[in-house]
Each structure stands twice: as C-alpha cells, then as structure tokens.
Amino acid sequence: MLLSNFVMYCIILTAASTLHRAGLRDIASSREAAEALRPLAGDAAYLLYTLGILGTGLLAIPVLAGSASYAVSEAFGWRVGLDLPPWRGRRFYLVLGAAIAGGVLLDGLRLDPIRLLFMAAIVNGLLAPPLLVLVMLAANSRRIMGGRTSGFWLNVLGWTAAAVMTMAGAVFLWHSLTAAR
C-alpha cells in the first residue's frame, strides 16, 4: 500500500508540474498526456509515459481484481484467499477472473479511460458516505461487536467524516444539477 501511495503521489506531482503548468486541464487521451510530458522528458516522453502506465497497471490490477474477489466472496460466505488452491477456492478465483475479464472488456469497447476513471471516482465518492454510515453503525452495535464497540474519539471522527462526506456529495450533486440547466 505504501508503494502504491508513493506511485500515486508521483503521478500527482508529475501531472501538476507538467500538465497543469502547460495549461492542459482536460486530457482526453493517453497520447495527450504523453505529449504533455515532452517538456520534461523530451523525446523519451512516450517511453516514460508507457513505463508509468505499465507500472501502475501492474500494481493496480492485482489489487483491484483481488479486492473485488475478496469482497464478493466474503459477502456470500465463500472460501477466500489467494493461498487457496483453485479447487478449494473455485468461486473466489472465478470472481477474480471475471474482474480481470471485465477490465479487458472495458478496454476492448474503446471507451475513454480517462472519463471512466473520472466517473468511477464520482461513484466512489457518492457511495462512500452511506457505506461509512453502515460501518459506524456496525462498529457501535453490541450485537455485532460485543464488548469491543467504538470508543468516543473514533465515533467523533467517524461520524464527522460521514457528515462531511455526505455534505460534499450533496454539494456536488446540487452543483451538477444546477450547472446542467
């Protein structure tokens, strides 16, 4: 996780120092992003961008497909774990394969990947507050947690985060609806 966060920070820093400085605020393709790196990397911009995309993909694909497989399998009470042999974790590995196949299918549909990432971030941002509320309710339930319910400060921080995220989502939706008119 530390490595993936470091890579994310480097991507943000590189984008801020190149794309934003060059006045590019609406990148629609990988080609445009690679071209914007030319002032920083010269003729090696495409190679640098390709290596960055490959490295990020190699970090992200196992994490994203694996987390989807764990979430679905645990929700249905199936055996989970990459340490399971395929015959014992059949459903887990089926979900893992489906997640990877879904990613390949999205790429094959020639959809705009930048737009898909943007839309996924919006969906995640809108779904996070209700999920956080469910986590907070579960963390405070004696029936679920027994004697290990959340303490005062964890409740303060958790409910504050849920409230702030809910307000941010509401402002986003309001702004989106009023801007569309």
**pLDDT mean across residues, the chain:** 85
How far is CA 42 from its chain centroid? 31
Domain that residue 144 falls in: 112-181
Within a domain: 45: no
How many domains does the chain divide into? 1
Name the amino acid, one letter, at 95: V
Within a domain: 134: yes
Within a domain: 84: no
Within a domain: 6: no
Query: Looking at the predicted structure, is the pLDDT value of residue 129 above 90?
Result: yes
pTM comes to 0.59
Phi and psi dihedrals of 36, rounded to 5?
-70, -20
Distance CA 33, CA 24 (A): 9
pLDDT at 33: 73
Which pLDDT band holds residue 47 (cuts at 50, 70, 90)?
A: confident
Helices (H), 140-151: 142-145
Instruction: Report the candidate in 121, 123, 127, 117 with the shortest Cα–Cα distance to residue 56.
Output: 117
Within a domain: 147: yes
Query: Looking at the predicted structure, is the pLDDT value of residue 46 above 90?
Result: no
The region of weakest confidence among 22-36, 69-83, 98-112, 147-161 is 22-36
Within a domain: 119: yes
Within a domain: 162: yes
